[in-house]
């Protein structure tokens, strides 16, 4: 069974494209540049193709073409032509520094399954901002919006996969470009047992690398037994663990940490961890980091503390 196409209300189209709702309604009424669907109650519902046509209209009018002729050209374009016309500009629609426009552009590129546009938006964001602000202001909000849209059934899981896969590639490029020469097993980043989400680990690895700190990043779903073996054999000084999903009540990690007998700074991140952390072993400090910057700070600070 095929999924019905996503349809957007005037307000959402206005937010995505930065065009006033009144203008959108006028273009629809006067020139037929509008939604191909309406709800039973008569509310406008734009498809992705309708939105592309509005984009073309907007581009022409912005260049001074009279609305009437801009509309004629936009209406003459078939689906393929509209894709070509708008494919390259979708990601550039948001002006520099416009975070909500950029977040909307990420979602739109994810929805249109456009990896090229996603890379361009991510790269441009990383050029314009430092990594922490790129993550806090654009990437994390875009991921949250994508998660919400997926939760509502407005966006397919394939769009979520694509948006995160392309972000993985771009974050890895930052890591590669900044990777310190020496990376030993002193700083470990991992996602908790059974936890598939690991993008925040890459953001953190990239941020640490930018500060000259190399880390071993183990990625998603690291079994607690494997983590335990690694801790016991290599005695690292810092461990970061991510959990998006709620951790089980019988979390095995706590008993692993209670057996640690060397100074270990454990930083936990993500909404999956309980707010009240059980006390760990005497030599272990466990804290919750609420954002990328503070997680990086906690791990970097222990470098200066330990020399």
Q: Residues in the site for ligand B12, rule: CB under 6 A?
A: 140, 143-144, 146-148, 150-151, 160-161, 164, 168, 194-200, 203-204, 244-245, 269-271, 289-292, 295
| Least spacing, CB of residue 299 vs ligand B12, in Å | 10
For the chain, the C-alpha Rg in angstroms (whole number) is: 24
Query: Of 62 and 249, which has the nearer Cβ to ligand B12?
Result: 249
Q: How far apart are CA 222 and CA 205, in angstroms?
A: 16
Query: Of 87 and 115, which has the nearer Cβ to ligand B12?
Result: 115
| Least spacing, CB of residue 165 vs ligand B12, in Å | 7
Query: Of 15 and 160, which has the nearer Cβ to ligand B12?
Result: 160
| Least spacing, CB of residue 204 vs ligand B12, in Å | 5
Query: Of 55 and 197, which has the nearer Cβ to ligand B12?
Result: 197
Phi, psi at 69, each rounded to 5°: -75, -35
Query: Of 34 and 200, which has the nearer Cβ to ligand B12?
Result: 200
Query: Of 186 and 195, which has the nearer Cβ to ligand B12?
Result: 195
How many degrees, rounded to 5, is the angle at CA 199 between CA 154 and CA 149? 10
Query: Of 25 and 297, which has the nearer Cβ to ligand B12?
Result: 297
Whether 264 contacts 283, CB under 8 Å:
yes
| Least spacing, CB of residue 219 vs ligand B12, in Å | 8
Phi, psi at 175, each rounded to 5°: -60, -50
- 254 exposure class (CB count in 10 Å sphere: 0-12, 13-18, 19+): middle
Closest-by-Cβ residue to ligand B12 is 147
Whether 31 contacts 68, CB under 8 Å:
yes
Indicate if the alpha-carbon torsion angle 271, 275, 279, 285 is positive or negative: positive
The DSSP call for residue 266 is: E
| Least spacing, CB of residue 247 vs ligand B12, in Å | 11
Q: How far apart are CA 292 and CA 103, in angstroms?
A: 18
Q: How far apart are CA 266 and CA 259, in angstroms?
A: 14
Question: Three-state SS for 265?
Answer: strand
| Least spacing, CB of residue 186 vs ligand B12, in Å | 18
| Least spacing, CB of residue 23 vs ligand B12, in Å | 32
Whether 286 contacts 200, CB under 8 Å:
no
Indicate if the alpha-carbon torsion angle 65, 71, 77, 81 is positive or negative: positive
């Amino acid at each position: 069974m095929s999924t019905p196409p996503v349809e957007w209300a005037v307000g959402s189209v206005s937010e995505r494209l930065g065009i006033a709702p009144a203008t959108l309604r006028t273009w629809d009424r006067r020139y037929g540049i509008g939604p191909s669907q309406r709800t039973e109650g008569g509310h406008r519902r734009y498809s992705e193709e309708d939105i592309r046509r509005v984009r073309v209209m907007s581009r022409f009018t912005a260049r001074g073409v009279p609305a009437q002729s801009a509309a004629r050209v936009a209406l003459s374009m078939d689906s393929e032509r509209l894709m070509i016309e708008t494919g390259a500009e979708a990601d550039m629609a948001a002006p520099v520094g416009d975070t909500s426009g950029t977040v909307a552009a990420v979602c739109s590129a994810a929805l249109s399954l456009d990896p090229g546009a996603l890379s361009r938006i991510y790269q441009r964001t990383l050029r314009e901002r430092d990594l922490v602000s790129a993550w806090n202001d654009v990437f994390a909000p875009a991921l949250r919006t994508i998660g919400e849209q997926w939760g509502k059934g407005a966006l397919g899981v394939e769009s979520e996969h694509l948006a995160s896969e392309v972000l993985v590639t771009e974050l890895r490029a930052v890591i590669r470009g900044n990777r310190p020469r020496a990376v030993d097993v002193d700083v470990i980043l991992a996602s908790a047992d059974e936890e598939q989400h690991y993008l925040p680990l890459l953001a953190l690895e990239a941020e640490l690398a930018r500060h000259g700190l190399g880390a071993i990043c183990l990625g998603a779903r690291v079994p607690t037994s494997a983590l335990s073996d690694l801790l016991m054999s290599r005695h690292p000084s810092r461990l970061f663990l991510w959990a998006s999903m709620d951790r089980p009540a019988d979390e095995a990690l706590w008993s692993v940490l209670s057996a640690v007998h060397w100074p270990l700074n454990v930083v936990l991140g993500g909404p999956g961890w309980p707010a009240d952390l059980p006390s760990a072993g005497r030599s272990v400090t466990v804290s919750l980091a609420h954002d990328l910057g503070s997680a990086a700070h906690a791990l970097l600070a222990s470098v200066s503390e330990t020399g």
